[in-house]
Chain A
């Protein structure tokens, strides 16, 4: 990857660590209060808007694991979202409405499909890896298009959303919000722990120089494949939530433009930083809303923003925020 890589193993200075913990706690409180505040303000619409953003945040974070931390530029990540979404959609159509079955099944299936895709793609590198992941995703896109039993190109409506028992039903916007919030928090915690573990250190080392890692005895192919599969499973989770949000899924979830959107989110937010996917997803979706209010050609203007980020802030918005915070800290 051409982008300069941040120091991977910064020693976490205690004050910075404490600030990080405080920041996360604050964010958690805000996320819990938010839907009730919106209800009080009679702006419940914004609860489901936030849910949608968090679903995208999970998707972008799952891609960031592969693309950002792994340095593997996968251009077919939408395939795993699509598999997750269709797994839940088809299960519900067939009468299996339990979320306890649907969501794990979505993740498992996405992971299982990622094994052969990864096993083939990861034998290539660079542009070839980009193209071959794209090719696999497009194959699945056309495959789903042709399955007439489940809507084909018209997509699949689901009558009910996943149910979790205990009176928890995703049909309720508030419940859905909190389920998504828990999933997002779990995803972030998982990524954080994985990247701080033995496995994560090898992943970061491979991003620096995978030839050297192999020469030190690391079975690099196996590591990349495991990383790819974990990212795919988390993508499947995002897809499973997405179909519940929209009561509908169509083959466009698997389209390459969707993979492109996820990549834009990751680059915008911060390649290889924990919050990059979250910040990128929120920023892009907000930007889209705001600009779309003024012009139908919103993509043109969003393009300029992306260009500016790539040229002037290769570490994305998270990098910008971090730099601003450090300047603040230095000024004190």
Chain B
């Protein structure tokens, strides 16, 4: 059976730096696939190419059987390929609830409606309210996004991506900058999300990765040096040498 996302021989260079070097990855339907690697390994560049904000120099990206290598970002979202951001990107002047309502509306298409007041569209608000509960911000709907705590903003960040009803969710370091308690809550959220969508998780928090992931790929200097079951990857000598070191072998 073919995978939901098939990345084949993807390459991207910026001047003399090879950000993505012959990357081949499969993400199977229903799994949480983690992508780990040291800083500067090219994780974020890879996410940008998968989501469509950056075009690769060569190689192909197939999603749900179709070649999407050259497809623009918003068209990929419409097919169910959505991403979250490592550095929180919210609509800061809107409330948490309205952030989600915007995302729901964006997904429903047909937003070229110029006359009818959007505040009267209860369907949007209802869907946004449900998402708000799902990401654990049920009581914080009326708070402007800019005024939420960092952990809450991270949760809303994931909520925005979820609002697009993705088949594959690209999560770019959802735990970035969060404390232990907030991280634990994020792990719970991702556990809940997996019932509905496939996840490609880029994360630094190795403990969280090995707790959540069905499979793990390790990216070093733009190359995938290992890919497979968490236990196998953890024991791979090349991975230990290049990245994990004694971080998990205490």
Partner of A211 from B53, B82, B160 at Cβ < 8 Å = B53
Shortest CB distance A101–B (Å): 25
Q: Is A199 an interface residue (CB 8 A)?
A: yes
0 or 1 for each of B163-194: is its CB under 8 Å from A? (1 = yes): 11000000000000000000000000000000
**A8–B94 CB distance below 8 A:** yes
Shortest CB distance A279–B (Å): 21
Report the bound CA distance from A278 to B79 in whole Å.
44
Report the bound CA distance from A213 to B93 in whole Å.
14
Interface residues of A (CB under 8 A from B): 5-9, 11, 193-194, 196-202, 204-205, 208-209, 211-220, 223, 226
**B93–A198 CB distance below 8 A:** no
Partner of B93 from A7, A202, A212 at Cβ < 8 Å = A7
**A220–B74 CB distance below 8 A:** yes
- How many chain B residues have a CB neighbour from A under 8 Å? 42
Apart from A201-B105, A204-B91, A214-B53, 15 more pairs, CB < 8 Å: A196-B118, A196-B119, A200-B118, A201-B98, A205-B102, A212-B91, A213-B106, A214-B74, A216-B106, A216-B160, A217-B78, A217-B107, A217-B164, A218-B74, A226-B112
Report the bound CA distance from A15 to B102 in whole Å.
26
Report the bound CA distance from A199 to B92 in whole Å.
18
**A9–B92 CB distance below 8 A:** no
What are the residues of chain A within 8 A of B93 when measuring CB–CB?
5-9, 204, 208
**B115–A197 CB distance below 8 A:** yes
Q: Is B148 an interface residue (CB 8 A)?
A: no
Report the bound CA distance from A193 to B119 in whole Å.
12
Interface centre among A6, A202, A211, A212 (most CB of B within 10 A): A212
**A198–B118 CB distance below 8 A:** yes
0 or 1 for each of B71-112: is its CB under 8 Å from A? (1 = yes): 011100110001101000111111100100111011101111
**A219–B74 CB distance below 8 A:** yes
A198-B121, A199-B114, A216-B102 are known contacts. Are A209 and B90 too (CB-CB below 8 A)? Answer: yes
Q: Is B117 an interface residue (CB 8 A)?
A: yes
Partner of A9 from B78, B98, B113, B164 at Cβ < 8 Å = B98
Q: Is B144 an interface residue (CB 8 A)?
A: yes
Report the bound CA distance from A277 to B206 in whole Å.
54
Q: Is B51 an interface residue (CB 8 A)?
A: yes
What are the residues of chain B within 8 A of A215 when measuring CB–CB?
51, 53, 73, 77, 82-83, 85, 89, 161
**A205–B113 CB distance below 8 A:** no
Q: Is B249 an interface residue (CB 8 A)?
A: no
A-B contact pairs, 23 of them (CB 8 A): A8-B91, A9-B94, A9-B119, A11-B142, A194-B114, A197-B117, A198-B121, A199-B112, A199-B114, A202-B105, A202-B106, A202-B111, A205-B94, A205-B102, A208-B90, A208-B93, A209-B89, A212-B160, A213-B102, A215-B83, A216-B102, A216-B106, A219-B74
Q: Is B250 an interface residue (CB 8 A)?
A: no
A9-B94, A198-B121, A216-B82 are known contacts. Are A211 and B107 too (CB-CB below 8 A)? Answer: no
A209-B91, A226-B112 are known contacts. Are A217 and B106 too (CB-CB below 8 A)? Answer: yes
